[in-house]
Structure 1
Amino acid sequence: MTANSNFSATDSALGYLYQVRSALLSSLKRLAKDEVFAVYLETLDDVVFEQDGSAPELLQLKHHCNHAANLTDASSDLWKSFRVWMEGRANGSIPEDARLYLITTSSIGREASASYLMLENRNETEALKKLQATATTSTNQTNEPAYRLFRGLSPDAQIALVSSITILPNAPNISDISEALRVEARLVVRRNHLESFLTRLEGWWYKRVLGQLSTPDTPPILSNEIESSVDDLREQFKDEALPVDEDILGAEVDSTFYDNSVFVQQVRLTGIGEQRILFAIRDYYRAFQQRSRWVREDLILIGDLDKYERRLREEWELQFARVADEIGDDATEQVKREVAQRIYNWMEDSNYPIRSQVRERCITRGSFHILADGLKVGWHPEFMNRLQQVLEPQGIS
């Protein structure tokens, strides 16, 4: 693959990513205005918004890393968009009353035709004159199919097309759009949670968009879906809550990686079945990964985790002491295993949320396994002596 094709692939990927992120940004702006809408990607246009009782809005998005690039009268970005819209109108896929938007990161040259089609200081008559002149005199072969379509329109059709077009220059590029998204989210969560909130919102959005793009006849993304996702995420960033992420909950865990872990050996001492050992491994993974992410994103302090683990250990100490009192010093191994399973069952059924609104019980169970991995808790009445015999040859004590 040549360097040029690499750049081409990168530009194409950035363009698609830009479409997706821009659609999210536009959706959040519309939600802030209490609009009710449906959004489609890659259907009639790059992005399409529909509202009941209103003409659909079709967005063509053009991304350039260089803001300085000008949208001139013969710009390929301009005429490619015109061609899409003219062909769509001709074959009936684009309604005659559709509002057509060209959103570009480029600037517009002074007195260029596009400068007369912006939201302010519109002059459709002057824009039409310049477009007609360009379509007649330009020698740009790339644009010739669009020029030919434009020249073939009746005067009334040309007027109707131009009047339906709005050009929005100097749009934020793929990098700048991050700040624009932060602006929209600032009233949703605390400033120090913005990045974590947006990471999860964009993750949901990409997954939803992928579902729409990859499955024919998938319904559009509705504004109430987006609003619901925003509301759900906002709840997870309140003081009494923490986000529990779907990518962690849904991850496939390689159990063989944990076969020799201390917490797995702790579980095996109880004599429970292999299926529950796999559940233990899954809970350990989920709790470890989620807690690590919370710490990395400054959503929880190490001191808060220490307090939580102290609480879990105190609850375990009480349960463990009760069982020890029941069996005495002369219990058989069978009895010891039975009480180990009782303690383990108690742990599996425990519900000590790290914060009151964190409802995923795998965090509690997995945190117990993290403590068990450090020999701070155990299930078998003699877990410390039994495991030390196994671990001392490995240099662990």
Structure 2
Amino acid sequence: MRFIEAIKGQGGRMTTSIASGSSAFGAGDSALGYLYQIRVALLTALRRIDTSSDDGFSVYLETLDDVVFESIGTPLELFQLKHHTNSLANLTDASPDIWKSLRIWIEGRASGAIASGDRLILMTTHGVASGSIASRLLAASRDEAGALSAMRITAQTSTNSTNIPAYTLFLAMPEKEQAALVSSIVIAPGASNIEQVGHDIRHEIRFTVRRDHVESFLSRLEGWWLTASLRHLIAGSKFPIRSVDLQAQMDDIREQLVSALPVDNDILDHVVDMTAYENEIFVHQAKLVGINDRRVLAAVRDYYRAFEQRSRWVRESLVMVGDLDKYEQKLCEEWDLIFQRALDDIGRELAEVEQEQMAKRIYEWVETSCFPIHKNVDNPSISRGSLHMLANDLRVGWHPHFMSKLQHLLESRTQAA
């Protein structure tokens, strides 16, 4: 595998044009461009999975070009991506989109980073006019000689100051190298914009899962791809995103949706702010037990995870409200057995110290038990957090006198509502 070194400075940076008068590119435009780059990379990868060799392929971002695809034993495919909000415009012969891309490719070939056999692809949301340079370098019906002649004329006669560095580099190349460069270039006009790419991805995965699971599958796949892309970029784009990892992630998400319920990493990884929950009843329930602050924080974390994950399942129609009602009924029944058994063991007339001991025993049961909400969903946070959700409504409790001690909190909440 040929190691890919990043070209700094002029090369590899995606540009985004926004048709808004004479304003310069803004931070929002750049962010949109990078998101477009990441989305196009995912779409292209999905389209190649079924046709790739047994060895698969690798995807690089921000190295020799915006997006680079590498398969073992084949030339690289380098993509320059140009996203424009005005998709009705056409590429002109002096378009900076063309000549900035040429400059990157010429410098890459001169340094040896881009091999002569590598395929150079300019993908743009703009169209092409008949007879233009771009129209002569499409994937089909090519006129490389005509394109080369027009490029030489443009480089010699154009007054576009932005393109002068590219014009200079191109004209300095020997004619044979100019011809070889042009033969490697493919223009892909009329590409989907960032919103349309999302629809294209959805279309690509439509048969991967059941129709009612498509949105759930898509949101998790794009979330994983975005995280993988960010890690790839943070690491300096040295380690690729591999097609085998993409395929494995697709298989894992599909399996979760078919045989279980997905427990999402963004929810598990979320850092909870304790101060937002200090007045919640379930926190007061935990504090009645006399546990330390770290265990109280763990209760808040589990409450957040269960509440957010269950809400997401309902929004995505992965579970019905009735299913959650049955699950909560099961938890209440299991809690009642433990609670009543503890009362019987200690007695109904408890001293304060015995009451606290009972509460600690029951709370230990909360922390160590796990009641799956669905087959193959055994993350204990969902079980613990669901019990804390019930404790927040005083449907269950840990202290033998939790109801009388905390009833005023429930009443004040009801009045506030």
TM-score (structure 1 length as normaliser)? 0.93
How far the C-alpha of 1:395 sits from its partner, in A, is 6.6
Deviates more, 1:164-173 or 1:216-225: 216-225
**Residue identity in the other structure for 2:244:** N
Q: Report percent identity of matched pairs.
A: 53
Aligned-partner Cα distance in 1 for 2:28–2:393: 46
**CA deviation vs aligned residue, 1:263-308 (integer Å, no higher than 9, x gap):** 1222222233332222111111111122222223333222221111
Which ranges of structure 2 fall in alignment gaps of 5 or more residues?
A: 1-19
Q: Any residues of structure 2 matched to 1:315-326 within 5 Å, and which?
A: 315-326=334-345
Structure 1, unpaired ranges of 5+? none
Query: Cα distance 1:16–1:272, how it changes in 2: closer, same or farther (>3 A)?
Result: closer
The Cα RMSD (Å) is: 2.2
Q: Which residues in structure 2 correspond to 1:327-338 (within 5 Å)?
A: 327-338=346-357
Point out the more displaced range, 247-256 or 212-221.
Answer: 212-221
What is the CA–CA distance in structure 2 between the aligned matches of 1:121 and 1:39, rounded to whole Å?
A: 29
Is 1:16 paired with 2:34?
Answer: yes
Secondary structure of the 1:143 match is helix
| Deviates most, 89-98 or 214-223 | 214-223
* Stretch moving more, 372-381 or 265-274: 265-274
Describe the superposition over 1:61-99 as per-residue Cα deviations: whole angstroms up to 9, x where unpaired. 111112211122222211111111111111222112211
Contact 2:62 2:237 in 1 (8 A): no
Q: Which amino acid aligns with 2:290?
A: G
Deviation per residue, 1:98-143 (Å, 9 max, x gap): 1110111111101212212111112222222222222233232222
Shift of 1:393: 7.0
Give the equivalent residue in structure 2 for 1:176. 196
Inter-partner Cα distance in structure 2 for 1:143 and 1:345: 71
Match of 1:33 in 2: 51
Once the two structures are superposed, what CA deviation does each residue of 1:357-395 show, in whole Å capped at 9, x if it has no partner?
222110000000000110111112222223236655777
Shift in Å, 1:180 = 0.5
- The 8 Å contact of residues 375 and 384 in structure 1, kept in 2 or not, is answered as yes
Alpha-carbon separation, structure 2, partners of 1:217 and 1:182: 27
Letter in 2 for 1:233: I
Letter in 2 for 1:152: A
CA change 1:45–1:390 in 2 (3 A) is closer
Which of these residues, 351, 362, 366, is aligned with residue 347 of structure 1?
A: 366
Q: How many residues align?
A: 395
What does residue 13 of structure 2 align with?
Answer: none
Once the two structures are TM-superposed, the CA of residue 48 in structure 1 deviates from its matched residue by: 0.8
Distance 1:108 1:224 in 2: 36
Q: Using the alignment, how far apart are the partners of 1:14 and 1:389 within structure 2?
A: 51
Name the amino acid aligned to 1:295: V
Of 233, 244, 248 in structure 2, the residue corresponding to residue 213 of structure 1 is: 233
TM-score normalised by the chain length of structure 2: 0.88
From 314, 325, 331, the counterpart of 2:333: 314
CA deviation string 1:240-273 (max 9, x = no partner): 4222222221222222332232112222222333
Q: 1-side partners of 2:21 and 2:378: how far apart?
A: 50
Q: Which moved more, 1:198-207 or 1:154-163?
A: 198-207
Asked if 2 retains the 8 angstrom alpha-carbon contact of 1:258 and 1:281, the reply is: yes
Change (3 A) 1:127 1:267: same
1:7 CA drift (Å):
5.6
Q: How far off is 1:202 after superposition?
A: 1.9
Instruction: Answer whether contact 1:211 1:218 (CA < 8 A) is retained.
Output: no
Whether 1:124 and 2:147 are equivalent positions in the alignment is no
**Structure 1 residue 5: Cα displacement:** 4.7
3-state secondary structure, aligned to 2:26 = helix
Give the Cα separation in 2 of the matches to 1:172 and 1:3.
Answer: 23
Residue number in structure 1 paired with 2:385: 366
